[in-house]
Structures are given as C-alpha cells and as structure tokens.
Amino acid sequence: MKHGRTSLFIPGPTNVPDALRLAMDLPMEDQRAPDFPAFTLGLFEDLKKVFKTDSGQIFIFPGSGTGGWEAAITNTLSPGDKVLAARFGQFSHLWIDLCQRHGLEVEVVEVPWGEGVPAETFAERLAADKGQEFKAVLVCQNETATGVTSDVAAVRKALDASRHPALLMVDGVSSIASIDFRMEEWGVDLVVSGSQKGFMLPTGLAIVGVSQKALAARENAKCPRCFFDFDDMIRTNKDGFFPYTPATGLLRGLRASVDMLLSEGLGNVFARHHRIAEGVRRAVAAWGLELCAKEPKWYSDTVSAICVPEGFDGNEVARVAYGRYNLSLGLGLSEVAGKVFRIGHLGSLNELMVLSAISGSEMAMCDLGIAIRPGSGVGAAQEYYRQTARPVDLGNSVAKAV
C-alpha cells in the first residue's frame, strides 16, 4: 500500500492547485443559460492577456494539444501546401507527422536532438523561396522531449527579413503560461496550448490563439474540418456560447487558473519557473551529468531531460523512482529513449517540492549503481534556492514566539 501523494514530476499533466480543483468542484451547469456568456466572454478576453495579443482571437476546444495542432493546420491550409518545420524531438516530430497525414508537403530540417529551431537555416530557406510557396512555418517553442526552448522572435525576424507571408505557427503546449510568449509582438499567427501544463488543470482543453491574418487564411483553406472548425466557434463564441457541449467544469477551472496567473503577474510566473529550473540544473551539474539540451541558450525552464551515463537506462531510473519512492519522472521518448530521464518543473511548484524530485532521482540513480554522491544534487539546489530566496522579515514575531 502506498501512503502520501505520488510526487508528480512529469512535464504534464502538472499538479492541480487546490484552489483550481475546488473551482471545478461544481454541480453541472446549463451551457445555454442566459448568464453563461457573462462568464465566457470575460474568459476569452483575459486569455488574450496570457497569450499577449490584442488583435487575435482565442478558441477553446475540448481536446488536448494534439487537437490544437489539428485545428491550426486544418483551418488555414490545404492539402499540398508547403510548410517549413524542424524536427528535433518527439513533439516537433509528431506535429510534422500530423501535417503529413493531412496531405501537407513538409520541408523538414533535421536538427540534432538537444538543439532547437535553427533560425538561420529557416532564414536561408525562406529567402530562397522566391515563389513564396511556404504557406506556414512551424515552431515548437518548447520541445518537451529534450527540454529545449527555441527562439520564436528569431523566426519572426527570419520571415520579415525576406518579407515572407507564410503564417507563423507555434506549439506552445509546454511553454504558454510558464515561459515568456508574446503573440502580438512576435507576429505569431497561430499558437497552440493545452490545459494540463502551465494552466495547471487536468487535460481536456486545447486553447488556440489565432491572428486576424490566420483567420483570413481560412477562406482558402481546403483541409477537411468539422469538430475543430473555427467558423462554428466564431459564430457561437461571439455571443458567449459554443457550437457543441463545452467542458464547463474545465472552463470554470480555466477561469480560476487565468485569475491565478494574472494576479501573480506573468513576469513573476516566468521568473519563478526560471528559478525552479535553475535549481534543477545546479543539481544536474553537481551530479556530474549533462542535460540533453546542448547549450544554455536551449535550456528549458519547464522541463529538464537529463542524460544518464553510458551503460545505464534512463527509463530504469524513472521505473525505480516510481516503484520505490512514489516519484513520477518523465521517460525518454523515441530517439532519446533510455538515454535520458526527465524532470518536469512547470506549473504549481515550490522549492521543497522540486527538492523531493531531485532527491528521489538521486536515490533511484544510486540504486542503479550510477556514480552519484547521495545528497550532492539536493545540496547544490538547496544552496541555489537559499541564495536566491525572497527576503522575508521574520524579525520580532519569531523572537517573541521563542
């Protein structure tokens, strides 16, 4: 029998804070009630603040991130259209695969896993595309399989440098609401997110931001679509309703999540993720191990993929951590299966929670015979968290209590 909670350190779904769980613990409600729009219209508006767009529109589909990818593609493109994408991890790969299954012609730039979107190569390919055949450029902002964050603004610059009209599409599934993202400023046309990562909710919503340019592209888009059709959403959302039964409980949770994010302040949310992530990176360095992300410029503040030494299996680390210490770690996926294990550090987390994941990882690695000094990673992360802790005036109240 297991006691206590299983520590959840996969990179999504993430921990759901009690306040959000309670916000969803409601009787079912009427999605056509006259006061429902007062709730939904405000939610659409406030989500724009999270995506940082004024002119764009946000759609909320029942679904997961994969549904969001499909919505982005099918509403704006036609079979045979050319798109430019880089493959450098399981999720950038899966989005390419989805495009190909929809009949798109994907020019794939193969990139070593551990690096991110090669903005310079994209700039060259776009400049060489004199006929402007590329209809879209895909960027996976945070590749969850390898813990790599890419520079979306650099891809916008590459498009602008050759005055290329292709749509800029971003997978923000493991970055939105955790890592800086600026839809308006970066000229992003479509961005896909899911409820189960930075929004700290259960899986079940695909949240998609769409620019006016991308909305206009649907006039000529011939990919078949029904469930994910923006037209049906536009027609009903304008009055605060949905074309089919919305996931009302999750929408209530999303309201509470957006309130939480905006009241903390997005800048603070990003800084908190960075600090938590940096503690994990200090631990990895103290273990003498390396991240899958090859250079600091690629380091992700939401997930660290940690390479295990030759002769060891990263998935075994996760298996031992789960079996012995009630700790869920992320497995290595596809090309990096066995080579890494992952610590997800996004959503509602604090220092001591993350120290437990570092500690459990350390124990599992020691159990498997990996040459790690027990406590070394925990100690390095503790030191960093202590040095960077917010000053708190404990002053007299403590003295008096004693």
Ligand X SMILES: Cc1ncc(COP(=O)(O)O)c(C=O)c1O
CB of 171 to ligand X, least distance (A): 5
Nearest-approach distance from CB 5 to ligand X, in angstroms: 22
* Helices 376-387, 351-367: crossing angle, 10 deg rounding: 160
Choice between 96 and 308, CB closer to ligand X: 96
Does 300 interact with ligand X (rule: CB under 6 A)?
no
Which of 29, 39, 48, 66 is the binder for ligand X (CB under 6 A)?
A: 66
According to CB under 6 A, which one of 7, 9, 12, 254 is a site residue for ligand X? 12
When binding is defined by CB under 6 A, the residue of 9, 47, 51, 65 that contacts ligand X is 65
What is the separation, in whole angstroms, between the first and last Cα of the chain? 40
Q: Does 301 bind ligand X (CB under 6 A)?
A: no
Geometric angle at alpha carbon 117, from 113 and 121, rounded to 5° = 115
Of 7, 14, 64, 76, the one binding ligand X by CB under 6 A: 64
CB of 390 to ligand X, least distance (A): 30
Cβ 346 to ligand X shortest distance, Å = 10
Integer Cα distance of 73 and 102 in angstroms = 8
Stretch of 138-146, 250-258, 262-270, 288-296 contacting ligand X, by CB under 6 A: 138-146
- CB-wise, 64 or 304, nearer to ligand X? 64
Choice between 194 and 347, CB closer to ligand X? 194
User: What does the DSSP assignment read for 279-336?
Assistant: HHHHHHHHHT-EESS-SGGGB-SSEEEEEPPTT--HHHHHHHHHHHH-EEEBPP-GGG
How far is Cα 20 from Cα 76, in angstroms, rounded to an integer?
34
Using CB under 6 A as the binding criterion, the count of chain residues that bind ligand X stands at: 13
Q: Residue 99 is inside which H or E element, if any?
A: helix 90-101
Identify the residue among 51, 91, 325, 341 touching ligand X (CB under 6 A): 91
Cα gap 270→391, rounded to integer Å: 19
Buried b vs exposed e over 30-58: b needs ≥16 C-beta within 10 Å?
ebeeeebbeebeebbebbbebbbbeebbb
- Of 116, 187, 194, 198, the one binding ligand X by CB under 6 A: 194
Stretch that binds ligand X, among 25-33, 61-69, 156-164, 243-251 (CB under 6 A): 61-69
Of the candidate spans 58-66, 249-257, 315-323, 332-340, the one that interacts with ligand X by CB under 6 A turns out to be 58-66
Nearest CB to ligand X, comparing residues 301 and 362 = 301
Query: CA distances (Å), 372 to each of 26, 301, 308, 361, 369, in order?
Result: 47, 24, 11, 10, 8
> Which residue's CB atom is positioned nearest to ligand X?
65
Q: Which of residues 139-158 bind ligand X (CB under 6 A)?
A: 140, 142, 144
Is 369 within 8 Å of 329 (Cβ atoms)? no
According to the binding rule CB under 6 A, does residue 122 interact with ligand X? Answer: no
CB of 386 to ligand X, least distance (A): 31
Question: What gap in Å lies between CA 355 and CA 376, rounded to an integer?
Answer: 12
Contacts to ligand X from residues 199-238, by CB under 6 A: 203
Binding ligand X (rule: CB under 6 A), the pick from 174, 237, 302, 382 is: 174
Tokens linked to 360: 């459990």
- Applying CB under 6 A, the span of 147-155, 171-179, 274-282, 308-316 interacting with ligand X comes to 171-179
| 193 touches ligand X by CB under 6 A | no
| 117 touches ligand X by CB under 6 A | no
What are the CA-CA distances from residue 136 to residues 58, 149, 167, 210 (Å)? 19, 20, 4, 13
Q: Would you call 210 helix, strand, or coil by DSSP?
A: strand
Instruction: Calculate helix-pair angle for 119-128, 152-161, nearest 10 degrees.
Output: 20
**What is the smallest separation between the CB atom of 232 and ligand X, expressed in angstroms?**
21
Told to check if 9 binds ligand X by CB under 6 A, we report: no
> Measured from the CB atom, is 114 or 194 closer to ligand X?
194
Please answer whether residues 184 and 56 qualify as being in contact, where contact means their C-beta atoms are separated by less than 8 angstroms: yes
By CB under 6 A, name the binding residues for ligand X: 12, 64-66, 91, 140, 142, 144, 171, 173-174, 194, 203
